[in-house]
């Protein structure tokens, strides 16, 4: 599942600041791709998600930027917009090309240097590095400073990063997902075992759901800066229209729930994008098929993020 490349025309690039423990990731879609988004959790950090909502008039998405740096990291999208405009990629308006670049961020400011947040030049550099094929995974790009399972504090959490998975759906369509796992909750495998969770006093991996259920009150470490997020971008070559992209993104959020426990909490800002590049028409059931596969590869990509980062 992790060796199948994204659909043709999708370009993925990272900009990694290993010393500052942050970075950004850019996913450039083929021309005229449609997009949708599903935003969950209590603390999302986003840019231009409304413009790709099901009620908005804009149908095209040029690229998606995922970044560290909390709200500061949204600036990386400025660099991606500049790179795309220089290459005349974007939405055609009477005043010129306008790239449509939604973005979402994770909170990693306490992982490394809080002043080393991604900037416009980093988004530009990630575009320069973007290429087709299976992307680099692990502690790179937007996942450089990621961690999961923070119930006992970040110092006891498990390292995480960027993960990827893909599969072929009925009709021969490719459905791929890139994930940045930085959740409050644990990442759990398909068998229910914890892959990434808090370390107990004896060094073993604890299960956050059990710890939280037994707590009589909030632990001392809960503060506003302890923010967490799982970001996902689903890519497919199926001919989905804009409303169907939104529904697929929502179904893919079900994959987040399979791999993260607890999930969609007040301390999380989970966001799932869906980009579709195919042309032609598709019936309603085909959209359900793509959404079903999207949930599966989303869960696999989140698990891959932990596996690649702890190896």
Q: Flag whether pLDDT at 224 surpasses 70.
A: no
For the segment 63-72, the average pLDDT, to the nearest whole number, is 97
Sign of CA dihedral 254, 162, 131, 61: positive
Q: How do the domains of the chain map onto residue ranges?
A: 11-310
Distance CA 50, CA 126 (A): 24
Helix 120-129, helix 76-86: angle, nearest 10: 50
The DSSP bridge partners found for residue 261 are 186
Position 225 scores a pLDDT of: 44
Task: State the CB neighbour count (10 A cutoff) for residue 8.
Answer: 10
Which range, of 50-59, 167-176, 257-266, averages the lowest pLDDT? 50-59
Extract the tokens encoding 191. 């068998």
Q: Could you tell me the pTM of the whole model?
A: 0.95
pLDDT-based confidence at residue 288 (cuts at 50, 70, 90) = very high
The CATH class for the domain spanning 11-310 reads alpha beta
Q: Flag whether pLDDT at 262 surpasses 80.
A: yes
Residue with the bigger pLDDT between 282 and 60: it is 60
Q: What percent of the chain has pLDDT over 90?
A: 75
Strand (E) or helix (H) holding 298: helix 284-310
Residue with the bigger pLDDT between 97 and 43: it is 97
Position 19 scores a pLDDT of: 94
Work out the burial of residue 216: count CB atoms within 10 Å of its CB; fewer than 13 is exposed, 13-18 middle, 19 or more buried.
exposed
DSSP readout, 100-151?
Answer: ---EEE---TTTS-TT----HHHHHHHHHH-BSSSPP-BS-GGGTT-EE--T
The whole-chain average pLDDT of the chain stands at: 92
Residue with the bigger pLDDT between 63 and 154: it is 63
For the segment 284-297, the average pLDDT, to the nearest whole number, is 94
For the segment 65-88, the average pLDDT, to the nearest whole number, is 97
Position 215 scores a pLDDT of: 77
126 contacts 27 by C-beta, under 8 angstroms: no
56 in helix, strand or coil? coil
């Amino acid at each position: 599942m992790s060796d199948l490349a994204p659909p043709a025309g999708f370009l993925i690039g990272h900009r990694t600041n290993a010393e500052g423990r942050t970075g950004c990731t850019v996913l450039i879609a083929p021309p005229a791709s449609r997009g949708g988004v599903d935003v969950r959790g209590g603390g999302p950090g986003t840019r231009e998600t409304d413009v790709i909502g099901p009620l908005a008039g804009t149908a095209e998405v040029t690229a998606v930027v995922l970044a560290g740096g909390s709200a500061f990291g949204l600036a990386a999208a400025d660099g991606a917009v500049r790179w795309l405009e220089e290459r005349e990629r974007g939405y055609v308006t009477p005043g010129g090309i306008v790239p449509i670049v939604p973005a979402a961020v994770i909170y990693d400011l306490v992982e490394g240097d809080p002043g080393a947040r991604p900037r416009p030049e980093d988004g530009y550099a990630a575009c320069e590095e973007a290429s087709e094929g299976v992307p680099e995974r692990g502690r790179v790009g937007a996942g450089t400073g990621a961690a999961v399972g923070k119930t006992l504090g970040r110092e006891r959490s498990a390292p995480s990063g960027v993960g990827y998975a893909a599969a072929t759906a009925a009709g021969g369509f490719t459905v791929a997902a890139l994930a940045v796992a930085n959740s409050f909750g644990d990442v759990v495998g398909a068998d229910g075992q914890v892959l990434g969770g808090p370390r107990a006093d004896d060094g073993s991996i604890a299960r956050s759901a059990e710890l939280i259920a037994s707590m009589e009150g909030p632990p001392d470490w809960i503060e506003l800066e302890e923010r967490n997020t799982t970001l996902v971008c689903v890519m497919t070559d199926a001919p989905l229209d804009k409303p169907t992209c939104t529904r697929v993104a929502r179904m893919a959020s079900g994959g987040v729930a399979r791999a993260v426990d607890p999930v969609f909490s007040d301390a999380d800002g989970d966001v799932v994008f869906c980009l579709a590049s195919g042309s032609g028409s598709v019936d309603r059931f085909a959209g359900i098929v793509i959404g079903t596969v999207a949930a599966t590869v989303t869960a696999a990509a989140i698990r891959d993020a932990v596996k690649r980062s702890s190896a």
